Amino acid sequence: MKKINLILTLSTIVLFTLFLSYAQGNLDDYTLRIITLIPIYGIMAVSLNLINGITGIFSLGHAGFVLLGAYTSALLTLEPFQKELSYIIVPIQPWLLNLHSNFLVATLAGGVIASIFAFLIGWPTLKLSGDYLAIASLGFAEIARVLANNLISVTNGPLGLKGLPNYTNLYWSWGWLLVTLIAIISLVKSSYGRALIAIREDSIAAESMGINVFKHELMAFVFGAFFAGVSGALYAHWLTTIDPRITTFGPLLTFYVLIMVVLGGLGSITGSLIGAGVFALMFEYLRSLEEPFDLFGLHVPGIPGMRMLVISALFIFIMIFWQKGIMGRAEFSWEKFLKLFGIKVKKQSLAEIYLGKEGESK
Amino acid sequence: MFGGLYALLAVGYTMVYGILRLINFAHGDIMMMGVYFAFYASLMGSPLWLSIIIGVSGAAVLGFLIDRIAYKPLRNAPRISALITAIGMSFFLESIAVVLFGAVPKSFTAVFNENNKWIMDKTWNVLGARIPVMTFLIFFVTAIIFFILFWIVYKTKIGMAMRAISSDIPTTSLMGINVDMVIGFTFALGSAMAAAGGIMWAMRYPNVQPYMGFMPGLKAFIAAVLGGIGSIPGAVLGGFILGLLEIFLVALMPGAAGYRDAFAFIILIVILLIKPDGLLGKKSVVKV
């Protein structure tokens, strides 16, 4: 069965790569941008899910890590002359001016910086219990934003960074999603992952079973932050302009990611992916609400902000009536998927598959 | 001045947290809605006192409704669900304000007509310093509000019920107290105080916008933690201390003014590390 799963997974990846290469050449720019955004949201959602859903530490600081990744990578990919041009208010720190690297290094650096900060912030705050941690991590995200706004010689302050090279394409974003998935799924399936789940279920019991709760939580936090930083780097080069406004990297972004995670099911990695996809598509689709439209001959003027209203109402609705989300805590598995099409693969039939009729005769 | 607002908001947080163990993220946004109610009431021509009453009672009703609609179905759910719902509610209120009132900041000075404009402009000389009358007025009103609050919580029956619920919900309901009504009342009371604080704030810094409640809301929570969450005197104390600390920060290091929002969170982390129960908080014991 394991081998079949592997074959199925690999063939899906190959098929998907083929689809992506087809899409790259044939779809229009708008669609391409959405297809590129979905995995970026996916990385954010999966990494937040590792922290919130699987380990059960309620962190609201995701936007902070995304921001760190975005700024770090942006500072690395911008050409020195661009930096000189865009730092109008205060000139850039000289040591930052000549720092330059390719996109891969910049993305990794974004992740590393985010995880360093996760370590620094996690060390004091993970000793707190749930609610306080939520506020403290939200506070951290705000601090990061305030710093980005005020450390003008590093981040160019409220003006933000403009003209980032548009590196993030389909391959980068889906590729990084694949890396994220492999890393996080192997973490969750390892003994560390079991410990994380034990901590989520009952941290006191886990502690008494000899699990070092603090260390494990910190590890999950740093791990999640790394991928949040990576997604920030991808996001920055998708947007090509970043600034420290509330709407770009503020609590709103954390809220969006939280919606994706909750929509997909807290604790389910595949759920987070589905949530991210649904959210990205819905977010684009609901754009039509903010434009004027005609409903049964009645002219409805475009109302700015309507999209957020619908999304937050939907979110509250999900929390009250459908807390499990799309997947609950279940994960996607090929067995279940095949069952949908009436193909049953029993675990005992492993022998049949390998040995053909010999297995049956046994 | 900030301190008074934080204290008024923090009391709402601390009461709700004391009873439900829920951080009501929407608290700051309820304040914002209250300010908007007062603002639109006066735009429609109601006198100042009526606008204030409309704003405060509107927020109280809103707080009650939010509890009924969003939080009550989740009383028995995991605490994290209620917390997430509260975050959703906060963004819901913000976006409903954007849709209804527009995202552009509005000037609150419209609440002052010719008859009461003097409140805005007049200043008193105190030892050579010119202090606006408004500051005194706000101080006195805040003091009166706190007096009423303490009277309600410590001298009336419903206050007693609130305190009883905060220590043990199931037992309290066995004693024949309508728990949901008391929780609803707590929400209404907290929201009304938040709105009163918000309206005073808006009079002093005449600006209303949909996201005005977010930061004060978070800081008020920090104030509540600072004073010891669950303790009402603690919340008042915490609010004033946080306000004073912020003013000192800006006064002593004017260059750091931009970091004011970050400062509160640093205080939070420091407090939680040194004295997690806050200044006046009770020691919490983890039961296994």
ipTM of the complex: 0.79
Asked whether the beta carbons of residue B265 and residue A136 sit closer than 8 angstroms, the reply is yes
Share of chain B above pLDDT 90, in %: 14
Asked whether the beta carbons of residue A142 and residue B99 sit closer than 8 angstroms, the reply is no
- Give the pLDDT of residue A65: 93
- Give the pLDDT of residue B65: 93
- Summarised one tens digit per residue, pLDDT across range B199-236 is 888 887 778 888 888 888 888 888 888 888 878 888 88
Asked whether the beta carbons of residue B89 and residue A316 sit closer than 8 angstroms, the reply is yes
Closest chain B residue to the Cα of A152, Cα to Cα: B258
DSSP state letter for A156: -
User: What does residue A298 show for φ and ψ, rounded to 5 degrees?
Assistant: -95, 125
Three-state SS string over chain B comes to CHHHHHHHHHHHHHHHHHHHCCCCCCHHHHHHHHHHHHHHHHHCCCCHHHHHHHHHHHHHHHHHHHHHHHHHHHCCCCHHHHHHHHHHHHHHHHHHHHHHHCCCCECHHHHCCHHHCHHHHCEEEECCEEEEHHHHHHHHHHHHHHHHHHHHHHHCHHHHHHHHHHHCHHHHHHCCCCHHHHHHHHHHHHHHHHHHHHHHHHHHCCCECCCCCHHHHHHHHHHHHHHCCCCHHHHHHHHHHHHHHHHHHHHHCHHHHHHHHHHHHHHHHHHHHHCCCCCCCCCCCCCC
Tokens of A63: 């936007």
Q: Name the β-bridge partners of B124.
A: B131
Asked whether the beta carbons of residue B265 and residue A124 sit closer than 8 angstroms, the reply is no
Q: Which residues of B touch A139 (CB under 8 A)?
A: 218, 222, 262, 264-265, 268-269
Burial of residue A29 (number of CB atoms within 10 Å: 0-12, 13-18, 19+): exposed
Using pLDDT thresholds of 50, 70 and 90, give the confidence band for residue B1.
low
Closest chain A residue to the Cα of B89, Cα to Cα: A316
User: What does residue B125 show for φ and ψ, rounded to 5 degrees?
Assistant: -95, 120
- Give the pLDDT of residue A45: 94
- Give the pLDDT of residue A316: 85
Q: Which residues of B touch A266 (CB under 8 A)?
A: 80
Residues A72 and A109: beta-carbon distance below 8 Å: yes
- How many angstroms from the chain centroid is the CA of residue B153? 16
Burial of residue B284 (number of CB atoms within 10 Å: 0-12, 13-18, 19+): exposed
Rg (Cα) of chain B, in Å, rounded?
A: 19
**Does the structure show a pLDDT above 70 at B173?**
yes
Contacts of A296 (CB under 8 A, 6+ apart): none
3-state DSSP call for residue A239? helix
Q: Which of A111, A105, A80, A47 is nearest to A253 (CA)?
A: A47
Contacts of B22 (CB under 8 A, 6+ apart): B16, B71, B79, B82, B83, B86
- Summarised one tens digit per residue, pLDDT across range B113-143 is 666 666 666 677 777 677 777 777 888 888 8
Share of chain B above pLDDT 70, in %: 89
- In one letter, which amino acid is A200? R
- In one letter, which amino acid is B239? G
- pLDDT digit of tens for each residue in chain A (362 aa)? 677 778 888 888 888 888 888 877 777 888 888 888 999 999 999 999 999 888 888 888 899 999 999 999 988 888 877 777 777 777 777 777 777 788 899 999 999 999 999 998 888 888 776 677 888 888 888 888 888 888 887 888 788 888 888 888 888 889 999 999 999 989 988 999 899 999 888 888 888 888 888 899 999 999 999 999 999 999 999 988 888 887 778 888 888 898 889 888 888 888 899 999 998 888 888 877 777 666 666 666 666 777 888 888 888 888 888 877 777 777 777 777 777 777 665 554 545 555 554 444 43
Q: Mean pLDDT throughout B22-40?
A: 90
**What are the angstrom distances between the C-alpha of A169 and each of A17, A157, A234, A239, B33?**
13, 27, 9, 11, 42
Q: Mean pLDDT throughout B53-59?
A: 92
Which of B95, B262, B268 has its CB closest to that of A308? B95
- Give the pLDDT of residue B60: 94
DSSP A196-226: HHHHHH-HHHHHHTT--HHHHHHHHHHHHHH
Q: Answer yes or no: pTM beyond 0.90.
A: no
Asked whether the beta carbons of residue B77 and residue A323 sit closer than 8 angstroms, the reply is yes
- Summarised one tens digit per residue, pLDDT across range B83-115 is 888 888 998 998 888 888 877 888 777 666 666
Residues B19 and B166: beta-carbon distance below 8 Å: yes
Interface of B with A in 102-141 (CB under 8 A): 103
Asked whether the beta carbons of residue B261 and residue A309 sit closer than 8 angstroms, the reply is no
Closest chain A residue to the Cα of B268, Cα to Cα: A136
User: What does residue A162 show for φ and ψ, rounded to 5 degrees?
Assistant: -120, 165
DSSP H helices in chain A? 2-26, 29-49, 62-77, 80-86, 94-97, 103-125, 130-150, 152-155, 170-189, 191-201, 203-208, 213-239, 246-249, 251-264, 269-285, 306-321, 334-340, 350-355, 357-361
Closest chain B residue to the Cα of A125, Cα to Cα: B269
Beta strand B129-132 with B123-126: parallel, antiparallel or unpaired? antiparallel
**What are the angstrom distances between the C-alpha of A203 and each of A46, A209, B142?**
22, 10, 42
Closest chain A residue to the Cα of B95, Cα to Cα: A309
Q: Which residues of A touch B265 (CB under 8 A)?
A: 136, 139-140, 142-143
Asked whether the beta carbons of residue B92 and residue A125 sit closer than 8 angstroms, the reply is no
- Match 């600072």 to its residue by tokens: B226
3-state DSSP call for residue A299? strand
Contacts of B81 (CB under 8 A, 6+ apart): A319, A323, B74
Q: Name the β-bridge partners of B278.
A: none
Q: How far is B287 from chain A (nearest CA, A)?
A: 10
Asked whether the beta carbons of residue A139 and residue B73 sit closer than 8 angstroms, the reply is no
Q: Is B81 on the interface with A (CB under 8 A)?
A: yes
DSSP state letter for A288: G
Asked whether the beta carbons of residue A132 and residue B74 sit closer than 8 angstroms, the reply is no
Q: How far is A221 from chain B (nearest CA, A)?
A: 17
Residues A176 and A39: beta-carbon distance below 8 Å: yes
Residues A177 and A43: beta-carbon distance below 8 Å: yes
Closest chain B residue to the Cα of A253, Cα to Cα: B91
Q: Which residues of B touch A303 (CB under 8 A)?
A: 99
**How many CA atoms are closer than 13 Å to the CA of A271, on its beta-carbon side?**
24
Which of A125, A138, A320 has its CB closest to that of B73? A320
- Give the pLDDT of residue A360: 43
B interface mutation test: which of A123, A143, A321 has the most B CBs within 10 A? A143
